[in-house]
Structure formats: structure tokens, C-alpha cells
Structure 1
């Protein structure tokens, strides 16, 4: 355990705590979310998990007010009205507008106050929508997820090329990586201040980061059981570094005085 970051609080923000109508999907999501929390605890974070659909936006902001870092994890499609889209598209999932509203507010506050934030899969899409971007509502090319298979086989393995000058490449230690993903939506127009940090073989954006704030999104699942063994650990270490840099900036005026 990294003692330097023990008792630093990381909040893992999920979509919902229950999906009684889709038990197999919920079980899969819980495996992934539990891995994020467990690996973060191993890395020295004090982890709190909260389901955004189960609280109001005001409560979510209150619960996360003292967070040293935030991870928004995967789940259902973002409700289209938050990015000017329409319903009725191919592959549409259930929507959780309360969760969307709360998670969007989290991203916007993180930008204002400098809280390190990582978005995974849906979390990347929330980041983009929160900052004024929009989404391609359906892709079906067989690269980004396996099609017409049981939920336990849905994750697709493919290559990603990171931007050489990105913070993400520095965290992962290389620009060519293998990832596991399972998404049918993707970034279209980037939100304000966001830049593409990685692309899939078909040219679609697979990661983004903010040009000045410690906000990063990956469209893949580093927490998937078959992902490269150190991928999630490196992303968590990147959050820790961003938190440390933020703490130095906050402490600098006091030291100067």
C-alpha cells in the first residue's frame, strides 16, 4: 500500500445501486466497479462508492465535496436531452437522468476547483457532455464491443494509439496499448477545453483530457478482468500524481507567506 496517499479520499461514482430488471448486466457492472474500488484501496486511497441515481444532484455534490479525486465509472447511455440528442436511436439503453445531472455537475465543479477526475467508458461521455460536447448515438462496427453475445463476452479487445504528448501517455508509459471496451456510443464534438488523447483503429476517439484541468476520460475498461494487468494501477497512480500536484499548488501561497 502506498502510505503517502493513505486517507486521501477517492469517490467512485456509479450510475445506480440496483437494476432488478437486468440482473446479468448489473452483476457485470458490479464486477467492474468493485475492481476499481478494490485496486484504489490497495493503492492507498480511502474509497467511497456512491450511486448517482440514488441521490439528488445536491446530495451528490455534498457527498463528494471533500473528495481528493473522483472516478465516474461505466453504465447506461447518457440521456440524450443533455447533449441535444433525440431518443429512439438504435441500441438505446435505459436512461438515468438524475444520475446524468449529478455526474455532469460533478465534472463542472471539478473543472472549477481542480479536483482530479477520471471517467471510464460512460464517464468519458459524461465529461464530454458536461463541457458542451455531444455524442454519436450508435456505432456498430464490431471493434468497440462484441455483438450478439452474452454479457460476459461483450468486452472486445483492440488496439489504441495515444497522443504522444498526452498526460495519459505519460501515465501509461507508452503510446500503443491494448484495451478492452464495450460501448456503442462515442464522442462526436469535443467539449470546451477537451482534446483527443487516443484513437482506435477506426479513427474514433478512445480517450480525452482537458487542456489545463486534471480531467481525463478513457472509453475503454482498464478495470476489466482481462485488461493489461497494470493499466488500472497506472491510471490510479496518475490520479495520485494529479492530487499531489494540486496539493502543492494549494499549499504554495501559505508557504510563500
Structure 2
């Protein structure tokens, strides 16, 4: 049986490997690859370069991965002092990937930065540094460590159906979050401090975003959802 093909957007960063190599690279935490493969799909990595969106016609689903902050200029805000890791070429490439995926009607899962992008492309805005808003660092407690916090999901929503529950602990690592929701964007989960933790498009089926990192947890349901909702019931072959 042919596996569904799931594209995952990747970082463009300087990286080190082996004993001698230190150069620009296209990279992605391996947990994304493992999660997509464990769901029975074939992962395809999509680098942030012009023209990558042409590959979407060969995909059955798309994951917009986490990463650095989105350029605030996209949502009409000046860059705050704590905004970091902005990569304009990645912003442009991922907007193109999302546009192509929506045109084709394939499932889209936005993770962390990916969820924020789902909001921004619909005219929404971001809070550029959550500790200034909520008064704590609970969403990114330790540098380089995925800690956890509880999330409450609205019942009878797409994300509640996918997860099969409305209360859960999630792996978290982010310092930005949603501010104003974009057109047709519905918040469907929150932390106790009111930060939006999941969204969906009310007018487009099969589009969800989560602020947490499901690839770092033990619940495969979001990745299984991608492969269960291949358009037409059969993957590309």
C-alpha cells in the first residue's frame, strides 16, 4: 500500500555536524520526522526557498513546523526588543506553502510558529513576548527544554475530536502567542492564563494549529489525523 506523503517545512540555519562541518543547512528536529513516519506517512522536508510550493501538488498533507519568530512587519507591527530568529525567506516560503495547500484542500497542521502563521496569513496579530503579557515564563520555562503545562480544549471542536479529550498536558516552548485573531480563525484551546493554544479555520475543513509541540509528546493523534484525512481517501502514488 502506498503511504501518504506529508511535507514538513524546515529551518534554514547555520549548523555544525561531524568533526569539521560548520555551514548553512536545511534542518529539522528529528522528532517531526519520527512522528510523521510513525503515523504511517512518508515525510518530505520542504526547505524555505522560492519555488518549494510547487511540491505541494505531490503532497497529501502539510505540517508547518516550529522555529524562529515571524517578521512582525507581516502583521503591521514594529519589531519588539525580544523578537528573534526572524527569517524573511522562511516567512515567504511558508506563506506560499500554505496558500498552495489551501488551494488543493489538503490537511494542514500548524505547530507553534506554524499555528502563528495560520493566524497571521488571515490578518491576525501576535503578542511578541508573552512574559510581558501574562507575567510569567510558564510557556518557555527553561532554555532548550520542552517543559509542560495544562491546556483546556473547547468541547465539540475539531481539535477536541482529534484528541478525544478536552484536558491535557502538553510539551511547550514558545515566547510569542496569538493576539488578535484573523478572519475566520477560531480559538479552540487555552492555558489557564488565557493564552490561545489551538485554532482552526471555521470556513476551511482540515486546518488546525496548536501552540504546543505534539512531536515532543507521546500522543500521536494529531499526526494520525493528517494521514486519516487524505483527500479522496487515497494517497498519491
Normalising by the residue count of structure 2, what TM-score does the alignment of the two structures yield?
A: 0.86
**Deviations 1:20-45, CA, capped at 9 Å, x for gaps:** 49xxxx9xx84xx3112122223221
Higher strand share: 2
Instruction: Confirm or deny that 1:142 pairs with 2:137.
Output: yes
Aligned twin of 1:247: 232
Match in the other structure for 1:38: 34
Q: Report what 1:79 is aligned to.
A: 71
Measure the CA separation in 1 of the matches of 2:185 and 2:164: 21
Unaligned runs of 5+ in 1: 250-257
Structure 2: which 5+ residue stretches go unaligned?
A: 17-23
* Residues 124 and 210 of structure 1: CA distance in aligned 2, closer, same or farther (over 3 Å): same
- TM-score, scaled to structure 1: 0.80
1: CA distance between counterparts of 2:39 and 2:206? 19
Counterpart of 1:14 in structure 2 is 10
Q: How many residues get paired?
A: 221
Higher helix residue share:
1
CA drift at 1:19: 2.4
Output aligned runs, 1:1-257, within 5 Å: 6-16=2-12, 18-20=13-15, 30=28, 33-52=29-48, 55-56=49-50, 59-87=51-79, 89-140=80-131, 141-146=136-141, 149-151=142-144, 153=145, 155-211=146-202, 212-224=204-216, 227=217, 229=218, 231=219, 233-243=220-230, 246-247=231-232
Superposition deviation, residue 150 in structure 1: 3.9
CA distance in 1, matches of 2:139, 2:175: 7
Q: Partner of 1:255 in structure 2? A: none
Partners of 2:129 and 2:176 within 8 A in 1: yes
